[in-house]
Amino acid sequence: MPALDMGWSEIAGFAAAIAAAGVVSGLLAGLFGIGGGAVIVPVFYQVFGLFDVDESVRMHVSVGSSLAIIVPTAFRSFMAHKARGAVDMELLKSFLIPVLIGTVLASLAAASISSEELRMIFAVLALLFGIRLLFNRESWRLGDHLPGNPWRALAGIVIGFFSTLMGIGGGIMNGTFMTLYGRPMRQAVGTSSGVGLLIAVPGTIGYIWAGWGNPDLPIASTGYINWIAVALVIPIALIVTPYGVRLAHWLKKRHLEIGFGLFCLLVSARFFISLA
């Protein structure tokens, strides 16, 4: 769907569909207590498909646009958690270079990786996340203290790499890393908002570079970032997310884990089917 092939009515329909995606992703993000990338990417993929965005770039634009949306939301979340003392600044500082390395490597990979390979990565990781959430046990521990280098640096690189390829803020991966070493969930969530910022800013720049000049991009795109999607989803998600949070308070934590675990399995199955 190159820009010159769309009329104003198609652009309006495209914008309306993206706005609806913002409502869905914001509600689910608030309900499941996540940054939203794991929700936004599959929703974007469906919407872009409805408007015939070329298959070769559809997943890339979904991931890149998700990263751009995470920048302001992660910053707002990070500042709020930091004000409440829920951010491990020492861990965040130690992740600065490793996460950046992982993000840069992922951006380089995104420039050459195919849509099928990107969907396969998302599907496999979503499957693993879903299984982990469904069968999660608080007794699962690898230790009582976070590891030092080089293992901590390696964890930062892995978190930055795969989170950037998935278009997520790293909350699921960093949260898992911290809780497996005995850190409380509240601190894991707060620190993950900072990790999301470390991933989203260079990741957005990387996806702009990776997709620069691609002739198959949808209208209003700079590289793999679609600014219609970004501009519409950010305010809508910020408005809708609190309603999802209210709904989440009616449910038990374990019910939320099961719900999001099932959602991850559903998304994984959707992408595996698209590869068949």
Q: What pTM, to 2 d.p., does this model score?
A: 0.82
Rounded distance between C-alpha atoms, residue 30 and residue 276, angstroms: 32
Q: Name the pLDDT band for 31 (thresholds 50, 70, 90).
A: low
For the chain, give every domain's residue range.
3-275
Place of tokens 């640096």: 153
Mean pLDDT score of the chain, rounded to an integer?
Answer: 82
Place of tokens 């600065």: 96
Task: Name the least confident of 16-20, 33-37, 138-142, 263-267.
Answer: 33-37
Instruction: Name the token pair of 162.
Output: 């795969």
Asked whether the predicted pLDDT for residue 78 surpasses 90, the reply is no
Ranked by mean pLDDT, the top range of 75-84, 114-123, 236-245 is 114-123
Measured in whole angstroms, how far is the alpha carbon of residue 136 from the centre of its chain? 21
Q: What angle do CA 238, 128, 73 make, to 5 degrees?
A: 15
Residues linked to residue 225 through DSSP beta bridges, in sequence order: 222
Asked whether the predicted pLDDT for residue 2 surpasses 60, the reply is no
In the chain, what is the greatest distance between 2 CA atoms, to the nearest angstrom?
59
pLDDT in tens, 117-169: 888 988 898 898 888 878 877 667 777 788 888 999 999 999 999 989 888 77
Task: Name the least confident of 42-46, 84-88, 128-132, 134-138.
Answer: 134-138
Look at residues 37, 34, 39, 41 and name the one whose alpha carbon lies nearest to residue 61. Answer: 41
Complete DSSP assignment for 225-253: EEHHHHHHHHHHHHHHHHHHHHHHHTS-H
Rounded distance between C-alpha atoms, residue 135 and residue 143, angstroms: 19
* 171 contacts 193 by C-beta, under 8 angstroms: yes
> Burial, 33: exposed, middle or buried (Cβ in 10 Å; 0-12, 13-18, 19+)?
middle
Rounded distance between C-alpha atoms, residue 130 and residue 269, angstroms: 11
Q: Report pLDDT for 1.
A: 44
Look at residues 19, 23, 58 and name the one whose alpha carbon lies nearest to residue 42. Answer: 58
* 252 contacts 40 by C-beta, under 8 angstroms: no
Give the end-to-end CA distance of the chain in Å, rounded to a whole number: 23
Q: Report pLDDT for 94.
A: 94
Rounded distance between C-alpha atoms, residue 213 and residue 222, angstroms: 8
Asked whether the predicted pLDDT for residue 57 surpasses 50, the reply is yes
pLDDT in tens, 167-196: 877 777 887 888 888 877 677 777 888 888
HSE (CB half, 13 Å, CA atoms) of 105? 14
Asked whether the predicted pLDDT for residue 98 surpasses 60, the reply is yes
